Structure 1
Amino acid sequence: MRRGPHESELDALHDFLRELARFMLSFSGEGAEGVARGVRSVAGAYGARAETVLVADGAVLSVTVGDRTLTSTVTAFPDVARLDRAVALKEFVERVRDTRPALPEAAAGLRRIETLPATVPRWARGAGIVLFSVGFAPAVQPTWYEIGTTALLAALVATLTVLSDRRPRLARVLPLLAAVLVSLVTLGLLRPGHDHGGPVLIMLPALFFFVPGDLLSAAAAELVGGFLTTGAVRLVYALVLLLQLYVGVLLGVAVTGTPTGALFDTAQDADLSRWVLVASWAVFTVGLVLAFGVPWRAAGWVTALVYLSLGVQAAGTALVGEVAGTFVAATALAVAADLLSRPAGRPPRLVLFLGGFFTLTVGSLGLRALTSLAGGHVLHGFHDLMDLVTIVTAIAVGLLAGAALVPARGDQT
């Protein structure tokens, strides 16, 4: 039987929306709500209705035109390594929604975004990972020794990461390999003394690129917000990444013959000025832009929200304590990122949000807690675990509060 014009249009629209959903799952990092809203808005521009049922790495898509409905499944592994694609995707969805191009033209535009060349060369991404780690180092220990060792260790991690870019199978265990490498060099070569702080604190900034604090908090936010499946999957995935780092550190301990009791995370006295601490977050932001492929035209927005998060958190902590200060900072970050991302041509919420989110992230507490427990420091380890649960919850609830304070987006992306 020959298909009528409406049937052919439905087939073409369904194929396009299925690819759009797959692309958003892969590269936008917007989560369940963002993917559903984006696909629904584009379908509405073509006079159709789209419904999605989402999990963290897949979706069931139903597209309806008139009295006909087509349903299919989509699978994709979520990734935020190329945020330039997230920026291009938001601009593409805005353009499709406003101009409604012919479906073959729209599908070709989507394919062009998927094949965009990287905004920075591989060596620059490696340099970004180093700057990202070095900029974060003073937040772990505000010392010149921490910055120097982080530069060395992060250079090794960056080299390993860049080499794995074209080896997907290797990339799946990259956190484990990076943790083993950092642990071996720290414990076998650097051998920091007691006056340099605990060895885990020396390792942590170089591994921060892999610490899943953002995933932990995002999972908590989705669970609290009612997206139970996506939240649970993200939580399990974050824990798997954290356990890879933990096992990698322990393998280094075993190979070097280091007593596990040495994993107690004592901190060295600060020897950095306040201005160095403030400037370090600018270095961190430049590293984030390079490491995650953020377009330079969005760098100013990212930097502004990094310092907004830091300022609100510092003021809130001074006034009402760490937990409440983190809650207020997460709320302010969510409100600012949501409102600033809405005008056409602005970077998507994920890009604006990510830098500030890293300043609040607490995944490092999870690694510190596990290594303290492995070293026999039970009370200290459980104290870190309680801090992890408390701060993650404060961030998640703060994000939800921020979302509730701004007007609904409707069908915007």
Structure 2
Amino acid sequence: MNEKHAGNNISSDGLLDFLTELGKALTASGISVVDITAILERIADAYGEEAEILIFPTMILIKIGEHESAPLNAANQKPGILPLNQVSEIYDLVYKVEKAQISPKEAKKCLRQILAEKHCFGPVGILIGYILFSIGIGMLLQPTPEQLIVSGFLGAIIGILLILSRGRNRFMLILPVIAAFIVSTIFLWSLKAGLIAGSVTMLLPALAYFLPGATLTTGMFELAYGEIISGSSRVIYGTAILLLILFGVLIGIQITGFQEPKFFVTNTANALGWWAPYLGVFMFTIGMYLFMSIKNKDLPWVLLIVYVAFFGQIIGNHLLGSLFGAFLGSLLMAISGTIVERQEHRTPSFISIMPAFWILVPGALSFLSLATLFNQNYLTALNYSVDVAMTIVAISLGLLIGAVATEPIKGKIIKNS
């Protein structure tokens, strides 16, 4: 029997059911199947059992001894993830069961209690948080007063839609299309009426939450790790979400009758000053804190890792260009996130690095590439598409090298848990 298990005398009864429900919760959080498999294997080992685990983004199958779980629908595919306060507490539970401190049956009850918890800040927090989130992204993409006003206004509309859609899973499936249609129609009507002037770049901050940059990057990471089916399905799903968002924008164009070619010309002008992107990162993170329900103890570390990724990207851009910037930002956030996880009051690396995916903008680039393609600007679309693919590869490579480089540190985390 496993020595760790022999010393604590805690029964492994109910382990299969607990691992199945935990795997489902971790999958719904958006964690890669590579990490989920490793977590579940460590837990099974802690209770003196050997598990065979098969996980896809939409299915879980676990076998312990002669007992095998029925194939389980892991998570309904929909935009977004679990509130991050729940994810943080799930990891706290994981740290306990990796040491077999409680029985699997008790752990299962704790998991269900965690998943029943509410959003920390409620509807008001979601609305204010999304407005700040949108303005922060706007200050990164195009720091102009007009961009910030549009980002805040359209962000408030998306925030209201997200509040109204809570608990309505079927509606959430079509929410990216509806959100893209509503905000693009309002924005394009304002352009046509001469109330504002701008381009497709102004739409990106409000729609940033739906852009599947993290999904595409995780999929590429899983492909690089040898998880062919999971990686491919995430990449396909992310591409489908992009097409749905673009479809909503194109319907808005047809309804408003807006035919100005300059709409598809991106603009990254900075009319506020050099400081704007740095403030934008802070506003973005505070928005994420409110909108994604980040726990107070995790906020300082999330803010730190977001700035690490941001400065890493800036340094890389300055040294060798944008691709190296994406790689360096990804590498530094992966390493620093794991180091933070070692601390006594640790924040899981998944929570600390997840917001930084929006800073590295693979989702925004993907949307722009498709937008220019549908405008029949094929050369520009091809350039954007190549940038998208290489940026996602660069970020994934940074995550992969970071995971390999920090493997000894993760081993210490497990031993000291």
Q: TM-score, normalised by structure 2?
A: 0.90
Paired residue secondary structure (1:248): helix
Q: How far apart are the structure 2 equivalents of 1:267 and 1:114?
A: 42
- Structure 1 residues 148-297: aligned runs within 5 Å: 148-191=149-192, 196-198=197-199, 200-259=200-259, 261-267=261-267, 269-297=269-297
Letter in 1 for 2:117: L
Displacement of 1:98 in angstroms is 2.9
Displacement of 1:344 in angstroms is 5.4
Letter in 1 for 2:216: L
* C-alpha contact (below 8 Å) 2:47/2:100 kept by paired residues: no
Q: How far apart are the structure 2 equivalents of 1:165 and 1:118?
A: 11
Does 1:70 find its partner at 2:79? no
User: Displaced runs of 4+ in structure 1, greater than 6 A?
Assistant: 192-195
Letter in 2 for 1:22: K
* C-alpha contact (below 8 Å) 1:45/1:100 kept by paired residues: no
Q: How far apart are the structure 1 equivalents of 2:357 and 2:368?
A: 19
Q: How far apart are the structure 2 equivalents of 1:107 and 1:367?
A: 40
Paired residue secondary structure (2:407): coil
Displacement of 1:287 in angstroms is 0.6
Displacement of 1:286 in angstroms is 0.5
* Residue of structure 1 in register with 2:146 after alignment: 145
Q: How far apart are the structure 1 equivalents of 2:179 and 2:57?
A: 25
Paired residue secondary structure (2:98): helix
Displacement of 1:190 in angstroms is 4.2
- Between 319-328 and 237-246, the greater mean CA deviation after superposition: 319-328
Identity fraction in percent: 27
Gapped regions of structure 1 (runs ≥ 5): 1-8
Q: How far apart are the structure 1 equivalents of 2:151 and 2:136?
A: 9
Letter in 1 for 2:74: A
Q: How far apart are the structure 2 equivalents of 1:62 and 1:135?
A: 45
Displacement of 1:235 in angstroms is 0.6
Letter in 1 for 2:126: R
Q: How far apart are the structure 1 equivalents of 2:262 and 2:31?
A: 40
Q: How far apart are the structure 2 equivalents of 1:120 and 1:389?
A: 36
* Residue of structure 2 in register with 1:4 after alignment: none
Once the two structures are superposed, what CA deviation does each residue of 1:275-326 show, in whole Å capped at 9, x if it has no partner?
A: 2321111000001111111112111101111111111111121112111122
- Between 115-124 and 149-158, the greater mean CA deviation after superposition: 115-124
Q: How far apart are the structure 1 equivalents of 2:268 and 2:284?
A: 21
* Residue of structure 2 in register with 1:35 after alignment: 36
* Residue of structure 1 in register with 2:17 after alignment: 15
* Residue of structure 2 in register with 1:100 after alignment: 101
* Residue of structure 2 in register with 1:127 after alignment: 128
Q: How far apart are the structure 2 equivalents of 1:128 and 1:290?
A: 5
Q: How far apart are the structure 1 equivalents of 2:266 and 2:85?
A: 39
Letter in 2 for 1:20: L
Q: How far apart are the structure 1 equivalents of 2:265 and 2:195?
A: 10
Q: How far apart are the structure 1 equivalents of 2:67 and 2:169?
A: 36
Gapped regions of structure 2 (runs ≥ 5): 1-10
Q: How far apart are the structure 2 equivalents of 1:383 and 1:193?
A: 31
* C-alpha contact (below 8 Å) 2:191/2:198 kept by paired residues: no
Displacement of 1:120 in angstroms is 1.4
Displacement of 1:10 in angstroms is 6.4
- Between 331-340 and 127-136, the greater mean CA deviation after superposition: 331-340
- Structure 1 residues 305-384: aligned runs within 5 Å: 305-343=305-343, 345-384=345-384
Displacement of 1:381 in angstroms is 1.6
Paired residue secondary structure (2:301): helix
Q: TM-score, normalised by structure 1?
A: 0.91
Q: How far apart are the structure 1 equivalents of 2:104 and 2:57?
A: 27
How many residues of Structure 1 are paired with residues of Structure 2 in the alignment? 400
Displacement of 1:40 in angstroms is 1.6
